[in-house]
Structure 1
Amino acid sequence: MAYWQLYYHIVWATKNRELLITPDLEPALHNYLRGKIIALGGVFHAVGGMDEHVHVVTSISPKIAVANFVGQLKGSSSHWVNHNIEFDSALYWQDGYGVFSFGKRALPRVVAYVVNQREHHTKNDLWLALERIEEGDVGV
């Protein structure tokens, strides 16, 4: 078996950046994402976000294509919410995502950033590189 140590920060948004991730939905969605990351063979480090976007910190094997991994997270999570949670409207994700790789030494700082998303957004203390979802974005 190959040795690997790969760390990824992934971010994606709701379709049209609608404010759909309510305080009632957020814990269930984050818990689902944690379980799905593990089910897909990833290592869960953190999940966080705001009303219209999600951040995930994970490690995945080089055997798993990042694009496929993110597609599974996005597709299965919206399906799960729409079929299992009583919700006022359907949850859809915007096309695209941002992914950023980093080293092990940065893991605690990236995890803290993701876990404390609300505080960072409230104080406008954003790491713009970790907020980018599309080419040309300067962050949320």
Structure 2
Amino acid sequence: METQIYHYIIDKANAFNCIIHAINDTENHIHLVVSIPPTFPISYFVKNIKGSSSNYLNNFLSRKENKFAWQTGYGVFSLRQTQLERAIAYVDNQKQHHLKGTFNN
């Protein structure tokens, strides 16, 4: 389901005029590097991505007995343009970081 949910999240972000630069997950969380317009509330973006993607997972991708829900919280970091490439590399390598038990770039 990974590919389908990634495409869903990217399409939803595009509808908000947001750009997903990187997306990757581990078994219990997902990381995104996103450019969000300055006039668009980050909390609105997160609420809608989490809500609509869990609805999509539960109603279209998974069996009814395996209900999916995101955790209630989220973390956000603001980046300068010069930090974008490093953040993308970090997210692209999420699975490797978690296999090694490291969280450094």
TM-score by length of 2: 0.91
Once the two structures are TM-superposed, the CA of residue 86 in structure 1 deviates from its matched residue by 3.2
2:90 is equivalent to residue 95 of structure 1 = no
Q: Which residue of 2 aligns with 1:35?
A: 11
Q: Which residue of 1 aligns with 2:57?
A: 81
Report the count of equivalent residues.
103
Q: Which residue of 2 aligns with 1:138?
A: none
Cα deviation 1:40-87 (Å, max 9, x = unaligned):
110120101101101011111111100011000000000011111133
Q: Does 1 or 2 have the higher relative contact order (CA < 8 Å, sep 6+)?
A: 1
Once the two structures are TM-superposed, the CA of residue 104 in structure 1 deviates from its matched residue by 0.8
TM-score by length of 1: 0.70
Q: Which residue of 1 aligns with 2:33?
A: 57
Q: 2:82 aligns with which of 78, 90, 105?
A: 105
Structure 1 unaligned blocks of 5 or more: 1-24, 128-140
SS at match of 2:40: coil
SS at match of 2:32: strand
Structure 2 unaligned blocks of 5 or more: none
Q: Which residue of 2 aligns with 1:126?
A: 103
Provide the C-alpha distance between the structure 2 equivalents of 1:81 and 1:40, rounded to a whole number of angstroms: 20
Moved >3 Å (runs of 4+): none
Provide the C-alpha distance between the structure 1 equivalents of 2:43 and 2:24, rounded to a whole number of angstroms: 20
Once the two structures are TM-superposed, the CA of residue 94 in structure 1 deviates from its matched residue by 1.0
Identity of aligned residues (%): 37
Provide the C-alpha distance between the structure 2 equivalents of 1:65 and 1:90, rounded to a whole number of angstroms: 28
Q: Which residue of 2 aligns with 1:44?
A: 20
Once the two structures are TM-superposed, the CA of residue 28 in structure 1 deviates from its matched residue by 1.2
